[in-house]
Structure 1
Amino acid sequence: MIRTYANASGRFVLAGGDLAALDEAVWVDLLCPAKDEEIAVERAFGIDVPTLEEMTEIEISSRLYTEGNAHFMTAMMLSHTDGDNVLLSPVSFVLTSEHLITVRYEEPRAIDTFVTRCQKAGTFTAESLMAGLLEGLTEWAGDVLERTGHELDGVSREIFAIPPPVPKQAPVAALLAPKLKPKPRDFQSVLEQIGRKGDLLSKLYESLVSMQRLLTFATAAAQARKQDKDAAARFKSLGRDVHALIDHASFLTQKINFLLDATLGMINIQQTGIIKIFSVAAVVFLPPTLIASIYGMNFDVLPELAWPYGYPFALCLMILSAIVPYQFFKWRGWL
């Protein structure tokens, strides 16, 4: 699909979606372009439209380069950012002296928001259009980063949740009132949330790094062209903003690592508590088992075998031998 935008009657308008509007267009937006659309744009502007395979290459020389009077710049952008299932897709900017051509295969909402904003303003040059597009994409990435930070705060509160204070009651009421046990925390769900946030942050970090490289290239290109000094200043300012977002993304990545370690530590504490209960139970029931084993021996002569109180005596001895270790563990604070 192809969309063209032009300056007409002092306004920025949608020129059309057909190939006939290429001559008057200042911005040509190619979304999942067909082969005939690529060929038409290449003939109209004398450029080689990058393919999806070329856009996804990781080499800097394949993403940022100059051919003739056209500058080719590719960055990774986020789309479908409403949830954690974001997509990372390349967006190429081809900047000529009078035209901006964008090539993309996803629809970041920031681009549609920028188009709506531009149609309410005046006219634009190719460089100012690109600067505005990058500002919108950077602002969108900042919003996603801010939302992720707030959601990580919620995950942190869930991990380190403090139980609410128990209201004071009269002694009799306290004895009669049922004791409410704290609800066990679902650390599996917490781990899944941390994993999703970590994946989102890694994609966001990759997008910001690619955008920072693009802005460095765009600033140098704008300074060399000397056509729009305001655009060069905007590119440079955007570079500082993206650098700050990268620092914040690195901080959130460190926070995710901390929350992951904390969650695994909490799971380890829970498992240790369960193992401790089994260990204590084994020790408590070991002496009664020993006594029962002794009196279960098949010998002809046992001192208490003919004693009338031998059976109650053995039962009391087993109960006492279970109570003594239990009270000892309580006294040492192991329970």
Structure 2
Amino acid sequence: MTEDRTNPHAAGGLMAARLAQAGWQRLHTQQAEPLAAEQRLHGLDLSPIRGRAATQEGEFIVIPMELVVCQQGEFRETVLVLALGKEQLISVEQGPALHALDRASEQLLTRLADGGALGPGTMMLYLLEALNDAAHASLRAIAERLDERSDAVAAASGGFDTAQRQAGVADIAGTAMALAEAEELVAKAVEGQLMLARAGRWLRRAAGDARLGPRLTVLLADIHSLRRYARFQHEKIRNLQQSLMTTLDIKQNQVIKVFTVVTAVFTPPTLVAAFYGQNFAYMPELALPWGEWMVMGLTGLFALVPLAYIKRKGWMR
């Protein structure tokens, strides 16, 4: 996972200034001085390493969130800390700048231009909606990659890959590692949805504007629905992993079966060779003109008898 240290205010200074006047102070951990000033002014701990617990500090409710977002085709982890007060909303980003917050900013500015009133609760609602939409897009991208992995698992389970060569342990191991990475992403996505739901519940508790009620209820329902979808993807990954492990066990059993058949076929000829390798004083078959051919024939017969028995039992399938 890569990190983009882009300053979220670099290209939108005017937008940020207008939103700051409306009550939303958007900060990034790279903005050390403004961040320190806000913490001193309100007596808050807005550090992303403060832990995962949501706390009430003075007039603010501080809610940390850890999210997985898909930006520019890459999955990235980011930490967002929201501080909701009666007259101000503060957000602090760590890692890649969230495009979802840029979209929320544009929507809030449109509402301001239309003459709509903005309060900290309304702005936080827009932020949570944008973050939930970003989580939905990320899970959709993960699901698409899982579909590709499903084809790889099917090819490995069938014994051949797309190049029409036998899929070996290395192919299965590579697919298993990719599935493990996808499982980690989905697990973090589920955790992110839990944190979004927690932020929505805090918002519902703190919001004094009754007009947020219906829209907030819909948002919480969407968050829970998306969390169930993420868990479905997680179960899908588990099923694929189980299928891979079963395939790997079958292939290992096939290898052991091959060695068993080879051992069974060559054991009798080995015994014959060991017998005639001993130094006896007299071996009567050596005087027979067809003695050597008889020994060779018996050796071949002893090799074919266990092979025929194994084939009849179906152990070679």
When structure 1 is superposed on structure 2, of 261-270 and 112-121 the one drifting more is 112-121
Could you say which residue in structure 1 is the equivalent of 2:241?
260
* Pairwise CA distance, 1:22: 9.1
Conserved? CA contact 2:39–2:45, under 8 Å:
no
Q: Do structure 1's residue 183 and structure 2's residue 166 form an aligned pair?
A: yes
Offset at residue 205 of structure 1 (A) = 1.4
Partner Cα distance (2:298, 2:164) in 1: 34
Secondary structure of the residue aligned to 1:251 is: helix
Match of 1:14 in 2: 15
Aligned partner letter, 1:295: Y
Q: Which residue of 2 aligns with 1:158?
A: 152
Which residue of structure 2 aligns with residue 31 of structure 1? 28
Long gaps (5+) in structure 1 = 7-12, 165-179
Q: Is contact 1:215-1:239 (8 Å) kept?
A: yes
By how many angstroms is 1:28 displaced? 1.3
Is structure 2 residue 113 aligned with structure 1 residue 94? no
| Aligned counterpart, 2:227 | 246
Whether the 8 Å CA contact 2:143–2:233 is kept in 1: the answer is yes
**Alignment check: 8 A CA contact 1:65 1:72 kept:** yes
Tell me if 1:41 matches 2:22. no
The partner residue of 1:67 within 58, 62, 70 is 58
- My pick for the range that moved more, 133-142 or 149-158, is 149-158
Match of 2:202 among 198, 217, 242: 217
- Mapped partners of 1:294, 1:23: distance in 2: 96
The question of 1:114 aligning with 2:114 is answered: no
1:24 to 1:149, Cα distance in 2 relative to 1, 3 A: closer
Shift of 1:115: 2.9
Which residue in 2 is equivalent to 1:197? 182
**d(CA) in 1 for partners of 2:164 and 2:34?**
66
Match of 1:273 in 2: 254
Contact 2:69 2:134 in 1 (8 A): no
Please state how far the C-alpha of 1:2 moved relative to its aligned partner: 7.8
* Cα deviation, residue 15, structure 1: 5.1
2 CA distance for matches of 1:131 and 1:22? 15
Alignment partners' CA distance in 2, 1:324 and 1:282? 13
Q: Percent identity?
A: 25
Determine if contact 2:265/2:306 at 8 Å carries over to the other structure: yes
Say whether the 8 Å CA contact 2:65–2:192 is kept in structure 1: yes
Unpaired segments ≥5 residues, structure 2? 1-6
Q: How far does residue 240 in structure 1 lie from its aligned partner after superposition?
A: 1.2
Distance 1:93 1:280 in 2: 67
Q: Secondary structure at the match of 1:142?
A: helix
CA RMSD of aligned residues (A): 3.1
Report the CA distance between 1:127 and its aligned residue.
2.4
Aligned partner of 1:144: which letter?
A: S
With structure 2 as the length reference, what TM-score do the two structures score? 0.82
Moved more, 195-204 or 240-249: 240-249
Aligned length in residues: 299
Distance (Å, rounded) in 1 between the aligned partners of 2:33 and 2:258: 72
Distance verdict in 2 for CA 1:276–1:15, change over 3 Å: closer
> Which of these residues, 97, 119, 142, is aligned with residue 136 of structure 2?
142
Q: 1:77, 1:108 within 8 Å by CA — same for their partners in 2? A: no
- Decide whether aligned partners of structure 1 residues 51 and 220 sit closer, same or farther in structure 2, where only a CA change above 3 A counts: closer
Q: Which runs of 4+ in 1 moved over 6 A?
A: none
Q: Indicate how the Cα distance of structure 1 residues 114 and 22 shifts in structure 2: closer, same or farther if over 3 A, else same.
A: closer
> CA distance change for structure 1 residues 266 and 163 in 2, over 3 Å: closer, same or farther?
closer
2:4 is matched with: none
Deviation at 1:229, TM superposition (A): 2.6
Q: Distance in 2 between matches of 1:128 and 1:229?
A: 11
Question: 5 Å matches for 1:306-317?
Answer: 306-317=287-298
Q: Which one of 70, 77, 80 corresponds to residue 67 of structure 2?
A: 77
The structure-2 alpha-carbon separation of the partners of 1:22 and 1:110, relative to structure 1 and needing over 3 Å to count, comes to: closer
Q: Secondary structure of the equivalent of 2:67?
A: strand
CA pair 158-181 structure 1, distance change in 2 beyond 3 A:
closer
Q: Which has more helix, going by share of residues?
A: 2
Query: SS at 2:281's partner residue?
Result: coil
Deviates more, 1:113-122 or 1:125-134: 113-122
Go from structure 1 to structure 2 and tell me whether the alpha carbon gap of 1:278 and 1:132 turns closer, same or farther (over 3 Å shift).
same
- After superposition, give the CA deviation of every residue in 1:198-257 in whole Å (9 maximum; x if it has no partner): 1101111111111111111111111xx2xx333333222211111112222222222222
